Chain A
């Protein structure tokens, strides 16, 4: 679906959009250390706060004796969970459900904030105070092994009476239907089996599976196991807050907070403040990937500051305290019916998934079902049965890096079908992928076909059956392939304001910025439409402005960009109207110094329709020699605003049943079967993004998504002690994120088929390039055995049967 509904959506000439290496607006600050993140803020006369963390996987605080802690000079307060002060807090609208109280008495995973907050004159004193507390814990049963957690005889870890939030979590509800009639995800359907012990269910059946099984020539049965991963936020959450006097509302009425990311709305809502009563000037929150949840360290400081007369209070998480989950554990037991031609006739996905601690995002459990790849298949008989296990593994905020997971089960399916039928997996994929308009459409998808053509060439693709090829150095050789759609949001409304003032176009926007350089993308689009250069637009950061660069994540940038495109054209029209008006005013309206008469405008006699903005000039279309510099187009202040929704995208229209922009990823590995080492020889991504807006951002996004896809498949493993449920590797020495030396070069050939309907036919990228099984599948192709991620050398050796106990073996 190209961008046919907006202005210039089919533009062919681009001077700014798509241009590589335009500098980021904040790159200098970030590269030189000028940028301040949450942990960088300090204030004179500042207090410090630390929150008690639970040392058990599941426990309730029975009592806290704070007497000894409060006797330590410099320790000012120990605020316990039942303090009425917490009732003053409103709800954080981002990613939360109603909390029984802000600070709970019960912790559902090791390291969770619980029980009390200490406030002292230094961070060291906070730590002393926490040590001095006499906490009486009631240690409760826990589940960190979700397979064992399915045992119906296990004691329940939630309840027996559910809190308000937990009850909301288990409430069955009918799924929402889209305007196209597709029923969307919900966590529990009314038809689901009832919750039993620690397990709840979520079952969705599409089509007629019985008919699907009848059409099949054979059944393919396999497992896709996906472990827990943590969110590797580079900047640990932290904030400093204090109360300021308001000139209009009185002393101590304004909150100044730095370090609380994702705009000020959360803080405004929690503290019942209006927009002008919350100040957040800092621009930098650090890199994030769909992790919108504020941590307690980012939202509690205003409350504590108020308690101490507005003195600034600082609260910082350590690295270990930032070990929140980015992906919940999942075990998919798959059964497929397949014909002799490799066509999938029926899908049965039996998924056992971690529900996480109460309040964890459902994007990591059941809410990814509609976002995945099943509906890209011709097969319409699909059953998904989710067995959702409550656990004490950890907490996931808002979203997950790797959703949706069923792209991975398809990747593995194509490999297995290829293996069984001795067919190229690309051909298996082609036979199963439906056409652009519906699941009944037999036509090829141009975006997919082009991506495959380019990918095969880059890979020098020559598929071989598993375990049949060795490299000259003796290592085993394997390849793999996957496809996905290039998705774009269109369910968020956006807003843009542009202003022509004193000869310059201003683009006012609030911070903080989130790391995907969307403001730069928007600036490029505005410059393109206004006939200006990128650097001609003045981006004015001001926390009071409505516009934010959040954009709905990277997938939303091109939809948000569509709004900016419309806004820029609105501004352009208004500037031309103003320029024509000013050029045609009576002569005596023009006055120079001491009222000397001014020469007539070169635009005199023209209407707005007869003018254009070209390369920094307002010109007469019919005679480009007649112009005024853009900076002198008009003396008026001209403002344009545009808000609303971008055109509805294919992704949220059909959830895979309609296809426009697609991508393919390819991997080639070498496996040392004597040491278990895996080396990625090639990692190639060929996305059709529709239209590149800012190439540097796009390439970086791909690098990043491959970075964590590689990390989760080869290195990263979240380890908890089986006996206590305590995490054992809460640091980046023991939890192995890839170092720069471990990351392979990612080859990218970016296609621009203009078939997305964001700005200029652009679509999105990122989530669907994230995967848990592309490298794993290549390892299978190399070795002939499946290694569950992460394929660390010990696991590879074990899968190869080379971990015998006994030295002489």
Chain B
């Protein structure tokens, strides 16, 4: 690891001010950032690391104004055991309890999980070996390279720093995004409040729409009405440590409204709107569950290497929906 300056701000304002300076990065639990620094993956090495853990009150979890409010610095391990989360959003607790490994869960925060950089192996190759589009480079190496873990819904097209259009096929790996999307959560930052689905973006060295100096402070989940059912499912090759190659979350209301969110399949976490539409107002049957699985990947554009993800989405969604049948 190379030398950098380190700041322990006492307030959000102090942190925001520091993070507006070029060459500064925010650190929550450090689970993502420290690996990136050790591997020296970026074009520029950060000059300043702003430690958000020194700001008090960002790790609280409480029910307020009809919503479950979770501080951005709440650790994944705490989240998985929190009684309020277990009561109102048990699938979020389940998802948090399955992230990474036990040690990492006790260090990594929900905010860090949502803001983590892509896990694409070209992007992560040490010493910036592949200066890809997500770092301000010309091209996405995975598009023509080995993309077995990449997007099955095609690349994201975005503008890089000089305004040129670039493509990136890396998936968003924020594991808690699908359950939060299915739960209809909102993201609170130092500047605004927005639905979780609008929080994610594809940018140079960023997976969110956060502007320089803007900080994620809280996640708000509306309390579910009685009789709401929810399911979370992740699929990974190993039973621990792996990021899921596919994960999904489903919320079913007593009125048979469905929210289905998918992770690991697209440059951003997505809602499976075609499946939701198909399911709307209907009681579940095995046939309907199977049709919903197919609908969820109807618009997919997989590569030869990652088409298996479609089969996984279809199967997992079908099985989880069947498990929700009365």
Contacts and interface: CB of A to CB of B under 8 A. Distances in A.
B146 A738 contact: no
Given A729-B121, A798-B308, A807-B300, A128 B129 contact: no
A43 interface: no
Chain A CB within 10 A, most for which of B127, B294, B299: B127
B237 A792 contact: yes
B316 interface: yes
Nearest to A803: B307
Q: Which secondary structure dominates where chain B touches chain A?
A: loop
Contacts of B127: 55
Contact of A739 (B125, B235, B239, B307): B239
Nearest to B308: A794
A372 to B, nearest CB: 30
Contact of B121 (A55, A675, A734, A742): A734
Given A124-B1, A721-B122, A676 B298 contact: no
A320 B310 CA distance: 32
A722 interface: yes
B124 to A, nearest CB: 8
A805 B298 CA distance: 11
A805 B307 contact: yes
Nearest to B300: A807
B141 interface: yes
A741 interface: yes
B161 interface: no
Given A715-B238, A736-B242, A675 B141 contact: no
Nearest to A122: B3
B307 A804 contact: yes
A438 to B, nearest CB: 46
B240 A808 contact: no
Most chain B beta-carbon neighbours within 10 Å: one of A734, A738, A805 = A805
B34 interface: no
B38 to A, nearest CB: 9
B82 interface: no
Interface in B252-305: 294, 296-300, 302-305
B296 to A, nearest CB: 8
A124 B239 contact: no
B22 interface: no
Contacts of B316: 675
Nearest to B274: A807
A676 B2 contact: no
B238 A741 contact: yes
Contact of B126 (A320, A675, A736, A741): A320
Interface string B308-326: 1011100110000000000
Given A55-B127, A320-B126, A721-B145, A807 B312 contact: no
B27 to A, nearest CB: 18
A676 B241 CA distance: 20
Contacts of A798: 308
A619 to B, nearest CB: 56
A728 interface: yes
A400 interface: no
B47 interface: no
B2 A127 contact: yes
Interface of A: 55, 124, 127-128, 320, 674-676, 715, 719, 721-723, 726, 728-730, 733-734, 736, 738-742, 792-794, 797-798, 802-809
Interface of B: 1-3, 40, 121-122, 124-127, 129-130, 141, 144-146, 148, 235, 237-242, 294, 296-300, 302-308, 310-312, 315-316
Given A127-B2, A734-B124, 6 more contacts: A124-B3, A675-B316, A715-B238, A739-B240, A740-B240, A803-B308
28 contacts: A55-B127, A124-B1, A127-B40, A128-B2, A674-B315, A675-B315, A721-B145, A721-B146, A723-B144, A723-B145, A726-B130, A728-B146, A734-B124, A736-B237, A736-B242, A738-B238, A739-B241, A741-B238, A793-B237, A802-B311, A803-B307, A803-B308, A805-B307, A806-B300, A807-B294, A807-B296, A807-B297, A808-B294
